[in-house]
Every structure is written in C-alpha cells, then in structure tokens.
C-alpha cells in the first residue's frame, strides 16, 4: 500500500526524496520504495523518518482500516 502520508509530510517541508534520505542516512531509492509501498521499513527507520519530519509514528505509518 502506498504511503501517501509520508509523501505529503515530506512535500509539506519542501524536502525531496534525496533530502529526506540524506537526513536519515538511507538511499533515495529506499524512500521511494517506502512511499510506493514496495518496502516495509524497520521500526528504527520509521522512527528516524518521523523524527526528521516532526511527525509521530501514527501520523505517518498508521493505516486506517
């Protein structure tokens, strides 16, 4: 499932995929794969992403049923 919340939060801060990747120490391809739903990140990576975006885990990764 695509992670549109991650993409929207990143865009709201005017960050490219590369900018976010650089902030948290992963590749741009990793950010792209998470946004496309092709990669399920570890909890540590999720926490790093949320910290970089100033969001909570629920705000970015919680899926409504």
* Complete DSSP assignment for 5-33: HHHHHHHHTT--HHHHHHHHT--HHHHHH
Of the CA atoms within 13 Å of residue 8, those in its CB half-sphere come to 8
Extract the tokens encoding 10. 């990143």
First to last CA, the chain: 12
The answer as to whether 39 is a domain residue is yes
Would 65 be classed as within a structural domain?
no
Q: Binning pLDDT at 50, 70 and 90, where does residue 63 land?
A: confident
In this structure, what CATH number is given to the domain that contains residue 19? 1.10.260.40
Overall pTM > 0.85: yes
| Calpha distance 22→39 (Å, rounded) | 18
- The beta strand positions in the chain, using DSSP E, are none
Domain that holds residue 55: 4-59
- What would the pLDDT profile of 20-49 be if each residue is shown by its tens digit? 999 999 999 999 999 999 999 999 999 999
Q: Is residue 64 part of a domain?
A: no
| 21 is a domain residue | yes
Residue 27: inside a domain: yes
Indicate the number of domains in the chain.
Answer: 1
């Amino acid at each position: 499932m695509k992670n549109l919340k991650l993409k929207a939060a990143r865009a709201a801060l005017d960050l490219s995929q590369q900018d976010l990747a650089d902030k948290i120490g992963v590749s741009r391809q990793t950010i792209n794969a998470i946004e496309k739903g092709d990669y399920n990140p570890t909890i540590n990576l999720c926490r790093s992403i949320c910290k970089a975006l100033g969001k909570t885990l629920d705000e970015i990764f919680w899926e409504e049923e």
